Amino acid sequence: MKQINVTSPLSDSVITSLQAGDRILLSGVIYTGRDAAHKRMTELISAGKPLPFDICGQTIYYAGPCPAPPGRVIGSIGPTTSSRMDAYSPDLIQKGLRVMIGKGPRSQEVIEAIRRHKGIYFAAVGGAGALLSLCVETAECVAFGDLGPEAIYKLTVRNMPLVVAIDGFGNHEIH
């Protein structure tokens, strides 16, 4: 099966060209965010305050990395369970988030939000944290540094291996 090269942030035309089950290699800029960061971001939205980075058109990777060993950019960084972010994702998608990366299935509400706003959800292979860390070229903490591994990191990645789990039409290929 061919692997499609995709650059983040993703354009509308790229999102609509991808289909559930496609295997991609993602390069470009993505942001990490998991439970605690999502909670804070939705609290900021509720309070009418700006988010710590412009989320419009962006990609969030549900991941909390290990600390970087000497000489490395980052430690192991595989995906965490996406369903824990289901409660927060529709609000963020509404605010312009387009792409999510994680592991496991999503709720019907998230699938519907993805379909309505032409978003996309990629699955990374859960438990492949060492391999995925080698795809990270730069890492910089951009928000919520006090949360440690749960802070938001801006990553530049190269050829991150992923599968389209829910495409922009709401079709899904994940259990």
Partner 1 sequence: MLFWNPYKKVKGFCRMRIVEAIDITQAVAELCIKANTCVGEDIYNALDRSRQDEALPNAKWALDTILENAVIAKRENLPICQDTGMAVVFVGIGSDIHVNGDINQAINQGVRQGYRDGYFRNSVVQDPIDRINTNDNTPAVIHYDFVPGDRLSITVAPKGFGSENMSGVSMLKPSDGAEGIKEFVVKTIESAGASPCPPIIAGVGIGGTMEKAAILAKQALLRDVGSVNADPYWAEFESELLAHINALSIGPAGFGGKTTALALHILTYPTHIAGLPVAVNIGCHANRHQTVEL
Residues near partner 1 (CB under 8 A) are 1, 21, 23, 36, 63-69, 75-78, 80-81, 83, 103-105, 123, 125-134, 148-149, 161, 163, 165, 173-175
Residue 96: CB minimum distance to partner 1, A: 27
Residue whose C-alpha is closest to residue 90's, from 132, 67, 66, 121: 121
Residue 89: CB minimum distance to partner 1, A: 15
Whose Cβ is closer to partner 1: residue 66's or residue 87's? 66
Residue 56: CB minimum distance to partner 1, A: 28
30 Cα distance to chain centroid: 7
Whose Cβ is closer to partner 1: residue 29's or residue 128's? 128
DSSP state letters, 144-165: -GGGGGGSEEEEEEEEEEEEEE
Whose Cβ is closer to partner 1: residue 6's or residue 55's? 6
Question: Do the Cβ atoms of 116 and 110 come closer than 8 Å?
Answer: no
The stretches of the chain forming alpha helices (DSSP H) are 12-17, 35-46, 89-94, 108-116, 129-133
Question: Do the Cβ atoms of 3 and 119 come closer than 8 Å?
Answer: no
Residue 24: CB minimum distance to partner 1, A: 12
